[in-house]
Amino acid sequence: MLFAAVNVLRRLNVDPELALRGATGRFVARVEAAERLATQAGEDFAKLPLARQDRYFDLAKESA
């Protein structure tokens, strides 16, 4: 699947490495923001159930 995505990006004249680095950077920033939101609410993000982590991730995504 990764190779298919790379080929599509190349056909669209997009540098696949830069696109992947950008997406990875945005993901990391959102996870870090979700962790901060959980901490501000007095919760340990790592110990939360996945559904609750997802809610914090969505909040972080909305505020970005």
Name the residue type at position 52.
R
Mean pLDDT across the chain: 96
The pLDDT score that the predictor gives to residue 2 is 87
Which residue ranges make up each domain of the chain? 2-63
Q: Long-range pairs for 37-45 at CB < 8 Å and ≥24 separation?
A: none
Whether pTM > 0.75 for this model: the answer is yes
The tokens for 22 are 């950008």
The tokens for 17 are 């490495």
The pLDDT score that the predictor gives to residue 4 is 94
Question: d(Cα 21, Cα 29) in Å, to the nearest integer?
Answer: 12
Question: d(Cα 52, Cα 49) in Å, to the nearest integer?
Answer: 5
Q: In this prediction, what percent of the chain has a pLDDT beyond 70?
A: 100
**CB atoms near residue 34 (< 10 Å):** 21
